[in-house]
Structure 1
Amino acid sequence: MAGQIIKTEFSELMQKSYIDYSMSVITARALPDVRDGLKPVQRRVLYAMDQLGLNYDKPHRKSARIVGDTMGKYHPHGDSSIYDTLVVMEQDFKKGMALVDGHGNFGSIEGDGAAAMRYTEAKLMKFTQEVYLADLDKNVVDFVPNFDETEKEPEVLPVRVPNLLINGAEGIAVGMTTSIPPHNLGEVVDAVCAYMDNEDISTQELMQSVIGPDFPTGGFVVNKSELLSIYEGGTGKIKIRGKIALEPAQKKADKDKLVISEIPYTMIGANIGKFISDIVDLVETKKTSDITDVSNESSKDGIRIVIELKKNADVDNLINMLYKKTRLEDTFGVNMLAIVDGRPEVMGLKKIIVHHINFQYDLATRKYTTLLNKELDNKEIKEGLIKACDIIDLIIEILRGSKNLKQAKACLISGDVTDIRFKSEQSKKDASKLCFTERQSTAILELRLYRLIGLEMLALQKEYEETLAKIAEYEKILGSKKAMANVIKKDLQKIKKEYAIERRTVIEDGKEASFEEKKIEEQEVMFIMDRFGYAKTIDMAAYERNKEAVHNENKYIFSCMNTDKICIFTDNGNLHQIKVHDIPFTKFRDKGTPIDNLGNYDSSGETIIYLCNSQSIKNVKMLFATYMGMMKLVDTSEFEVSKKTVASTKLQDGDKLIGIYATDATIAVYSKFSLDGEVSDEEVVESRQYIILQTVNGVFLKFPLSEIPEKKKSAVGVRAMKLVNGDSIEDLYLLSHSSEVIIDYKGREVDLNKMKMAHRDTKGTKLRV
């Protein structure tokens, strides 16, 4: 059968396909549902564990089995994402309430990864089983087909607490992210109950219960006054700090110590190592001299990072420095985004609780409707059995006189006595009046004789009375919203009593961390860098003693103050700035440090065109020339920025810088630049007035500097020379009337001053050799 060609607009098709993909990622993978606070993969892992019977009172089972069942039945994605989900739900330092009981190496707070899934074992926590998975057999949630329609899975789990708040959530979708901090179980339960008591309650009143996030790592939230606006709008930044305390020396030989026992939530994992590295950097860069040693003594008992102090150290100033200069103080970005009725929505605290309560009413309605129907069925059956016991002799006579089960059942249901033998006409007459229901007749026919014992008869009557009581209770709950609310609140209070823990994070309005940075004693130093990129600074006396060796062994040499900055202009148009104080101050024969390690400059991807002291180019114009012949002047005030790396100029695609001049006559600059970044002799000239451009093909063009306009650093510039046949600029010279510059071009001496003057944006003259 021939296929049908459908013509469509390509852009419309791509737009529709991308939107479909985005919504799939948003709703089916990355974001949690507001009802149970779980992402699909988390929900499927927990349901698979429930189906495997991994109850809290049963033995652990291999994680690989859990991952396999989840992937094969419910979640057709990579096994690593499923196992990572299982691991995170076990880690009590990431979750407000851990949902999985793990056995084996499930990673650590310091960033150590979990062992492979074939080594670890897991089962459900009691909390998970009783609060997240209970009542699945009572038709409380809808079940939907799995990916290949061979299994059924719950659309949402019947979670009885606001898991979205208790365990928080993190997820990156397409064009949106969610970031919800964890909260204290007991406080959240109190807030839910407060809302059920007063639906007009404000967010501020709810926050009398939920006073703020409760991170499993403890620490401090220090912007309490900003929390109200965050919980009302659902977005904002929470400022968090670790817990640090002074441990005075116990013995004379000991040293005072600062001990960090709780860390910010954002420091979990590799950031602990980064934090220690930052402390070391503070010492190495001489930002502080109060620290003698730092060590990580953390164990399974908790975090313990120890900082040893010098005698008479300024402790308060050092603590403030750690808050300001390291991740001991950090921010947690809040964006309370979740799926509501199939669509992503940012919600505040009250709205999340409202959706949770509505979900709980739905769960309770379906649960008690199921239970009521079950008890009504029991009532019907028990009424039939009680009635049958009262006429048991007649029932036995019917059974003995019937030819088959169908005949006996018809008699019990409709009084049909056709072909049934009775002992007397009275019995036949009584049998014709029977009218049991289908269920009752089935129960009577299955009745065991021992139930006719007197005590069993009393037990049957008691069961019937209990069934009537349950029916009345369930009808009361379903008939009154207030009664249902009381049941939900009672259930929540029971959960709180059994599982709630003490708050770990302190909420306060902390003082802004401020410290006095140690002032640098201003000193003139000599910056030197060899051709391999190793940079250092030495004192002027050492330079004078080794002047000849310095110039013979190094590529860049100039004096500067240790309070200045070094400016690095590169061929891709970047300007990197490095504080002189951050460059190692060493002895002359010390190797120095690769300049790549001191800033953002990357020697593998860019070449230095011009390197200087920031003070030396103040109040001057910088002349830029590119490979494609574009030139401009830029005022150096545009480069006075705090960023370490900025764009010094704008380049066309495929273009790069080949030369930069500082046009002030009072400073020394390189007079010639080539494409490989090598430089010729330095030269100081009194009046720079003319530019000479030399191309790869030997074309020269001389024109006045005044023809180059001043532009912003974000401009491309103007064309300085018309290039033909794919030619490109190779060298740049800046001359004056008083200068005499003779170059060697392919074995021929060329006096640049005697070249004919022309104008910018012309072709130039080819030099014949």
Structure 2
Amino acid sequence: MEKEQIIRTEYSDIMQKSYIDYAMSVIIARALPDVRDGLKPVQRRTLYDMYELGIRYDKPYRKCARIVGDTMGKYHPHGDSSIYEALVVMAQDFKKGLPLVDGHGNFGSIEGDGAAAMRYTEARLQKITQEVFLGDLDKDVVDFVPNFDETEKEPSVLPVRVPNILVNGSDGIAVGMVTSIPPHNLGEVIDAVKAVIRNNQITNRELMEYIKGPDFPTGGIVVNKDDLLSIYETGVGKIRLRGRVEVEKGKGGKDRLVITEIPYTMMGANIGKFLNDVANLVENKVTTDIVDISNQSSKEGIRIVLELRKNADVDNLVNMLYKKTRLEDTFGVNMLAVAGGKPETLSLKSIIDYHVDFQFELATRKYRTLLNKELAKKEIQEGLIKACDCIDLIIEILRGSKNQKQVKECLVNGVTEGIKFKSKVSEKAAKTLRFTENQATAILEMRLYKLIGLEIEALMKEHEATLANIDKYQDILNNYKSMARVIIKELDAVKKEYAVPRKTGIENAAEAVFEEKKVEEMEVVFLMDRFGYARTVDTSVYERNKEAADAENKYVLSVMNTDKISILTDSGRQHLIKVLDLPYGKFRDKGKPIDNLCNYDSTKEQAVAVESLQKLKMSILLFTTKKGMLKQMEGSELDVAKRAIAATKLMDDDELISVETLGEYEQIVLQTHQGFFLRFPIGEIPMKKKNAVGVRGIKMADDDFIEKVHYLAAGDDAIALYKEKEVHLNRLRIGKRDTKGVKTRV
């Protein structure tokens, strides 16, 4: 028994090697497509499994669960959901310019609806998949490799005749890298491949005479045409996409905007988000020209209708949609694929170069296989023709032999020992026979009807055809131009049968400019009740209903409609609400919960102060916490763009109880739960930044806390209540900050 060896190594080295191995496995074997067939392993294995199961385009559909289970068991030992998702995407014509699977049942929708479970849906191969992707698998055109448990063989790549990586595009996230290749038009891509075959020195710029740009199945318009050359040369960049908007005339001189095509990136849940965004633009009064929006999309295509007011500025509205919603979006391009066994970012020309090399490799292997078959047929045919010329001798050999071995020895090597001949002439002729092993086998297996005159004539014609095929195949294999002609002819046939007109427009368009109507600045009154419902009303409306407004609302502020409302909470955070986002109208109109207007959560925090941001940023603020921490701060620190920030820093288990704008106030009185009162000058409280906790205002017992904060100006005669006893605050002696204060006796 061998002695066990312990190899000592750095843990970091093992981790590094293991992680690199894992990363390469994800990159090569899962996430990135192969540049040759444009397929990821899961897609390739699923299509091959359907081919092996005989689920052809002219055969009945089969349950997807059967396809997924078979693929998982034989070729792809990963989750069934990943296989089914790949199968579903290959069947969705709104995601793939050239669907590879013919799905039957609910395979999802462009609006983001998911496919039905695999036990309900059925599928089969598309005709183009069977003919163009899997057509020559029986001609030894690609290598077959063992599957994961070495019980089956699977193709290392499919013999795809068109650059599928361009036609259908691809997207995937690997480890440390991502691929995002847009789909293109099949006819244009084939023309580009033919151009490269005819002239290998062609440039990316010249290729763009054939490939105008991406062609997305959802249509739309690419609006940065001038950037495409750079994208195709480097393999990376951003494509700007817009939906297609048409103007229809409605009744009464009212127009309607109809969106008939959307950006590829807007598919799925983003359609619903777009509708919500438009509704929000109307609700927030960014535009008043849209009166209704409806999604009338169906299987026939996208149709989103925006009803407009009479005399609406249509051009400005369209620009608003491009500027403020995802009707204009960007598609990030990163043409990364596995090429030569490693990931590589490719230009348009290099992708087609790889494809052309692959096509010549396929053609070479195909025609070498066909040539070998024809040479084998030629051998047999020549043996049979020769046998027909001496058939009487062969029959004599057969009748005079004891076994098949004797006959073969005679036919191949002219050995006549042990065979009875009618004459010495026949034996002498038999000794001259020199058939090959294959010819001798064919002669022994030949049926008598083959000796009919017409059959012999047919054999001669078949032999002539075989010789013609041999010449043809040898010419293709030995002559670049002949092979190129054959490949181009096959590409033309594919283009003729499967090419479709371009869907996506390519143009240069100016940046969308939307001119928002300037809001007329005016003073309004902000009202917020104790339940957190807020709204604004005109100042004249407030004056007429002042008594009711003050009684029914917790906060009443006079603000400008261009201002923001600052809500400072017990958690030390500030939430900002634009006054324009608040409902504005009649006095009895219902307000909107502030929870819906900002990140404020009334279940987790409570408002401590609500004030106009304009007022706050011009003031000095005094913060007081439950544990007695105090600080002064410039209100300008709260003037930020973010809707939610930390307005002050709090210690653990502490909370903000008071924020006051300091004006005429000179003194502060802290009142604790246990009845201690401390009066001292506000000047003893230092100025701090918003990320500071502050200083201690009063010494308290561990179970005591600040209950109320009072502010005194010169001459104030303020009274506080403690357990129903009145405390005259201006009669308390003035103490020092951070002392115990005076206890009130009850």
How far, CA to CA, are the matches of 1:497 and 1:221 in structure 2? Answer: 26
Match of 1:122 in 2: 123
CA contact (8 A) 1:626 1:655 kept: no
Query: Which residue type is aligned with residue 644 of structure 1?
Result: R
Query: CA distance change for structure 1 residues 723 and 81 in 2, over 3 Å: closer, same or farther?
Result: farther
Question: Counterparts of 1:401-416 in structure 2 under 5 Å?
Answer: 401-416=400-415
How far, CA to CA, are the matches of 1:201 and 1:724 in structure 2? Answer: 85
CA contact (8 A) 1:220 1:243 kept: yes
Aligned-partner SS, 1:149? coil
**Count of equivalent residues:** 740
Q: Could you tell me how far 1:189 is from its partner in structure 2?
A: 1.1
Question: Counterparts of 1:382-531 in structure 2 under 5 Å?
Answer: 382-531=381-530
How far, CA to CA, are the matches of 1:465 and 1:23 in structure 2? Answer: 53
Query: Which residue type is aligned with residue 367 of structure 1?
Result: K
CA contact (8 A) 1:111 1:270 kept: yes
Aligned-partner SS, 1:310? strand
Selected match of 2:665 from 669, 676, 686: 686
How far, CA to CA, are the matches of 2:699 and 2:210 in structure 1? Answer: 75
Tell me if 1:68 matches 2:47: no
Deviations 1:505-557 (A, max 9, x none): 11011122222212222221222223332222222233334434434443333
Query: CA distance change for structure 1 residues 455 and 257 in 2, over 3 Å: closer, same or farther?
Result: same
How far, CA to CA, are the matches of 2:12 and 2:673 in structure 1? Answer: 45
Match of 1:148 in 2: 149
Deviations 1:482-520 (A, max 9, x none): 433332222212211211111111101112222221222
Question: Counterparts of 1:246-395 in structure 2 under 5 Å?
Answer: 246-249=247-250, 252=252, 255-395=254-394
Q: Could you tell me how far 1:27 is from its partner in structure 2?
A: 2.5
Match of 2:81 in 1: 80
How far, CA to CA, are the matches of 2:488 and 2:675 in structure 1? Answer: 87
How far, CA to CA, are the matches of 1:394 and 1:641 in structure 2? Answer: 109
CA contact (8 A) 1:700 1:766 kept: yes
Using the size of structure 2 for normalisation, the TM-score is 0.89
Q: Could you tell me how far 1:577 is from its partner in structure 2?
A: 2.6
Match of 2:201 in 1: 200
Query: CA distance change for structure 1 residues 293 and 388 in 2, over 3 Å: closer, same or farther?
Result: same
How far, CA to CA, are the matches of 2:211 and 2:396 in structure 1? Answer: 70
Q: Could you tell me how far 1:716 is from its partner in structure 2?
A: 5.4
Q: Could you tell me how far 1:167 is from its partner in structure 2?
A: 0.8
CA contact (8 A) 2:528 2:553 kept: yes
Query: Which residue type is aligned with residue 440 of structure 1?
Result: Q
How far, CA to CA, are the matches of 1:496 and 1:270 in structure 2? Answer: 34
Match of 2:23 in 1: 22
How far, CA to CA, are the matches of 1:562 and 1:361 in structure 2? Answer: 71
Deviations 1:201-232 (A, max 9, x none): 22111111111111111121111111112222
Report the more deviating stretch, 272-281 or 200-209. 272-281
Match of 2:211 in 1: 210
Question: Counterparts of 1:526-675 in structure 2 under 5 Å?
Answer: 526-570=525-569, 574-604=573-603, 606-620=605-619, 635-646=634-645, 648=647, 658=656, 661=659, 665-666=662-663
RMSD over aligned Cα, in angstroms? 3.6
Deviations 1:630-650 (A, max 9, x none): 877665545544443455567
Aligned-partner SS, 1:123? strand
CA contact (8 A) 2:666 2:683 kept: no
CA contact (8 A) 2:564 2:577 kept: yes
Query: Which residue type is aligned with residue 363 of structure 1?
Result: L
Query: Which residue type is aligned with residue 343 of structure 2?
Result: P
Report the more deviating stretch, 579-588 or 71-80. 71-80
Q: Could you tell me which runs of 5 or more consecutive residues in structure 1 were left unpaired when the two chains were aligned.
A: 667-684
Match of 2:92 in 1: 91
Match of 1:42 in 2: 43
Deviations 1:458-484 (A, max 9, x none): 222222232222222222322233433
Q: Could you tell me how far 1:165 is from its partner in structure 2?
A: 1.0
Query: CA distance change for structure 1 residues 416 and 745 in 2, over 3 Å: closer, same or farther?
Result: farther
CA contact (8 A) 1:107 1:113 kept: yes
Q: Could you tell me which runs of 5 or more consecutive residues in structure 2 were left unpaired when the two chains were aligned.
A: none
How far, CA to CA, are the matches of 2:107 and 2:416 in structure 1? Answer: 71
Deviations 1:106-132 (A, max 9, x none): 222223333333333221111111111
Deviations 1:595-621 (A, max 9, x none): 222233344555545433221122445
Query: CA distance change for structure 1 residues 547 and 26 in 2, over 3 Å: closer, same or farther?
Result: farther
Q: Could you tell me how far 1:46 is from its partner in structure 2?
A: 1.1
Query: CA distance change for structure 1 residues 623 and 227 in 2, over 3 Å: closer, same or farther?
Result: farther
How far, CA to CA, are the matches of 2:547 and 2:74 in structure 1? Answer: 77
CA contact (8 A) 1:67 1:79 kept: yes
